[in-house]
Amino acid sequence: MNFAMWALYGDPSEAHIAAAQWQERLAWGTNRAMESRTRYSADRFADIWFKDVMKDPIAEVERVYGIFGIEMTQAARAGMQAWRDRNPRDKRPPHEYELSEYGLTREGICEAFAEYRKRFILPRQGK
């Protein structure tokens, strides 16, 4: 998505430059967010696993609401379900990208997000 915006105003052949910049920005933001977790109470944060959202998004929203003491009303649940019914995921075209198209590698991404992966991803995967 970021490269699509980049290409509107820049050189469309610079996908690798856009990707490198965005990887750096996202890694910086992720590290800042992780650092802020050391300064604030844990009850101010909710961790959301993407696979759980994909499996049952409304249940995941309800779980997060519970963390923050927000009631999941029937109206909210119905509204979320109505939106899902109107926007079925399988009716949207898939987004298919290859890291190599953008000059990225799995190893480079793992390195850029090493601390985040160590704290949140690897334990969830039992590693």
User: Do residues 105 and 99 touch, judged by C-beta distance below 8 A?
Assistant: yes
- What is the rounded distance in angstroms from the CA atom of residue 23 to the CA atom of residue 27? 6
Query: pTM of whole model > 0.95?
Result: no
Closest by Cα among 86, 77, 71 to 57: 77
Better-scored residue on pLDDT, 76 or 6: 76
Q: What is the pLDDT of residue 93?
A: 85
| Residue carrying the six token digits 């959202």 | 53
**Residue 27 neighbours by CB under 8 Å, 6+ apart:** 112, 113
| Chain length of the chain | 127
| Residue carrying the six token digits 């927000």 | 70
Is the per-residue pLDDT at 95 higher than 90? no
Over pLDDT 70: what percentage of the chain? 100
* Confidence label for 114 from pLDDT (cuts 50, 70 and 90): very high
Which whole number is the average pLDDT over 49-59?
94
The 10s digit of each residue's pLDDT in 66-77 is 999 999 999 999
29-45 core/surface letters (b: 16 or more CB in 10 A; e: else): ebeeeeeeeeeeeeeee
Is the per-residue pLDDT at 127 higher than 90? no
Closest by Cα among 42, 48, 78 to 63: 48
Is the per-residue pLDDT at 2 higher than 90? no
3-state secondary structure of 119: helix
